[in-house]
Amino acid sequence: MVAEGRQRIDKWLFFSRAVKSRSLAAKLVVAGRVRINRDKAAQASDLVKPGDVLTITLDQRIFIWKVVAAGTRRGPAEEARTLYEDISPPPAPKGEALPDAVPALREAGSGRPTKKERRQTDRLFDEN
C-alpha cells in the first residue's frame, strides 16, 4: 500500500525528466547517485513525498531539487518542471578553472617530458 502523495523514486525521476527511462532511474538509484534528505536511496522502490530534498548526481553535475508534487505521467518539460523546485547553487563560470586543475605550462613543440624532467616535477610536488 502506497501512502497518499508518495511515489517511487524511480518513477518520480522519470516523470521529472531527470533521466530518459525508468530503468536508467533505477540504475542511478542503485549506484548511489541519489540522496533523499541527505540519506542515500538504497532501492528504486524508496518513496518520495512533497517536501523531500533530492540530491542527484548526473555526469559531472549535481542537482538539488525539492519535491513539490508527485508525477502522474511523463509529460512535456513544462509539466515536468512543476514537480520540483531547483535549489541548486549556481554553476561556476566556465572561464574560471579550479586552481588544482591548471595544467603545467610547457613550451609549444617541446613534446612529452623526459624522464629527467618528470623527476624534477615529482621533486617539486613532493616538497609541498
C-alpha to C-alpha distance for 128 and 125, rounded to whole angstroms: 6
Whether residue 7 contacts residue 23, with contact meaning beta carbons closer than 8 Å, is answered with no
The C-alpha cell 586543475 sits at 101
Rounded to two decimals, the pTM is 0.70
pLDDT at 1: 43
Amino acid making up residue 70:
A
Give the separation between CA 19 and CA 41, rounded to whole angstroms: 16
Summarised one tens digit per residue, pLDDT across range 78-124 is 999 999 999 998 877 776 656 666 666 777 777 888 899 889 989 98
Residue 64: band (very low, low, confident or very high) from pLDDT cuts 50, 70, 90 = very high
How many Å apart are CA 102 and CA 112, to the nearest integer? 17
Domains of the chain (ranges plus CATH)? 7-86 (3.10.290.10)
